[in-house]
Amino acid sequence: MEQIISIDGLCKSFGDVKAVQNLSFQVKKGELFAFLGVNGAGKSTTISILCGQLAKDAGTVFVCGEDVEKGMEKICRKLGVVFQSSVLDKALTVRDNLQSRAALYGITGKEFKKRLAELASLLDFENLLNRTVGKLSGGQRRRIDIARAILHKPELLILDEPTNDLDIETMTILEDYLDDFDGIVITVSHDRYFLDRIVTRIFAFEENGAIRQYEGGYTDYVKKRSASTENSFDGKTKSHTGNKEARMVYKNREKKLKFSYQEQREYETIEEDISVLETTIETLDQEMAENGTDYVKLRELSEKKDEAEEQLMEKMERWEYLEELAEKIANQ
């Protein structure tokens, strides 16, 4: 499998303080993992070096096959970052923020309009496009932060405390997106639920420069932390090969069924949608009876009825699916 991140002997100091000491690890495509540790342990420094925001003192760092010292421009085209604090321009509209960002990746014109429509639908901000960012709620702004990060379809996604200011709806949307993301996800988060839900490996940064890695989410990390010693190392780890079978079992573990955010919204309104269509068909039947001798009008009404009946059939099939899914979720 393709190796996306390769770090060997990374060191970084600030004066006499050694923030990162002889760190080495490799990560392959498809992994979702977290950096954990107390403030000052080196996790934010490592991420800053990966993003090209901070120069290393020693060691090598390759991201997407490029050396961070020489190929940062190419790396940035494959990298998406959700920063802890929003970097959106509060004076600009949501559309203008994303349009200016997209232009940096050569996404303009029809291509931008198409991608913007995809993201607005995915993250549910169609009604916010013309609103200035300064007038958005914390959760709404976080959705746009996420849209900004994934606008160019990155291979590597870095999430720095992504659940800060996140409402439940946006949390669900983000989780759904990450479930289908086939690149690498690195997150720094103190949200235990989010870590359990998303990551399959944890790097625990410790104050003495040592790092331990643990398979699984946060709960697995807590259980294994005191007992696990085989993956302990003084700032250094080998390529993530470990127990391959165990990793695959965890990654492919049975997840609890749940509605996606879009399915939940649809489920809440679909009965009303069906009722509206049924009323529309009844009204069209009545109008057809009243215009039985007006063949032009009759043809027009008949076409509208056929269209409404087709929509009704699709809605009924969708309602049956959602009802069955809701029952399975309730019986878990």
* Sheet of strand 232-233: strand arrangement: 79-82, 156-160, 184-188, 32-37, 201-205, 211-215, 232-233
Model pLDDT, residue 135: 93
Residue 236 has pLDDT above 80, yes or no: no
- Please tell me whether residue 66 adopts helix, strand or coil conformation: strand
Residue where the block lists tokens 């991140």: 5
Question: What separation in angstroms does the CA of 115 have from each of 95, 152, 172, 204, 300?
Answer: 12, 9, 21, 36, 36
Distance, CA of 96 to CA of 212 (rounded, Å): 43
**Which is more confidently placed, 180 or 229?**
180
Model pLDDT, residue 262: 65
* Contacts for 315 with CB less than 8 Å, ≥ 6 apart: 270, 273, 274, 277
Burial call 155-167: b when 16+ CB within 10 Å, e when fewer:
bbbbbbbbbebbe
Distance, CA of 76 to CA of 152 (rounded, Å): 10
Distance, CA of 129 to CA of 204 (rounded, Å): 39
Tell me the pLDDT tens digit for each residue of 269-324.
Answer: 999 999 999 999 999 999 988 888 888 888 899 999 999 999 999 899 889 888 88
Instruction: Look up the pTM and report it.
Output: 0.67
Residue 192 has pLDDT above 60, yes or no: yes
Indicate where the chain has its CATH 3.40.50.300 domain(s).
Answer: 3-78+154-251
Q: Which CATH superfamily is domain 3-78+154-251 in?
A: P-loop containing nucleotide triphosphate hydrolases (3.40.50.300)
Residue 247 has pLDDT above 60, yes or no: no
Does the 261-330 domain belong in CATH 2.70.98?
no
pLDDT band at 232 (very low <50, low <70, confident <90, very high): very low
Indicate where the chain has its CATH 1.10.287 domain(s).
Answer: 261-330
Model pLDDT, residue 257: 64
Tell me the pLDDT tens digit for each residue of 111-133.
Answer: 999 999 999 988 889 999 999 99
CB 182 within 8 A of CB 150: no
Tell me the pLDDT tens digit for each residue of 28-62.
Answer: 888 888 988 877 777 888 888 988 889 999 999 99
- The rounded mean pLDDT for the chain is 83
What does the DSSP 8-state code read for residue 227? T
Residue 244 has pLDDT above 50, yes or no: no
Distance, CA of 275 to CA of 203 (rounded, Å): 52
Model pLDDT, residue 1: 55
Residue 244 corresponds to which amino acid? Answer: K
Model pLDDT, residue 207: 63
CB 152 within 8 A of CB 77: yes
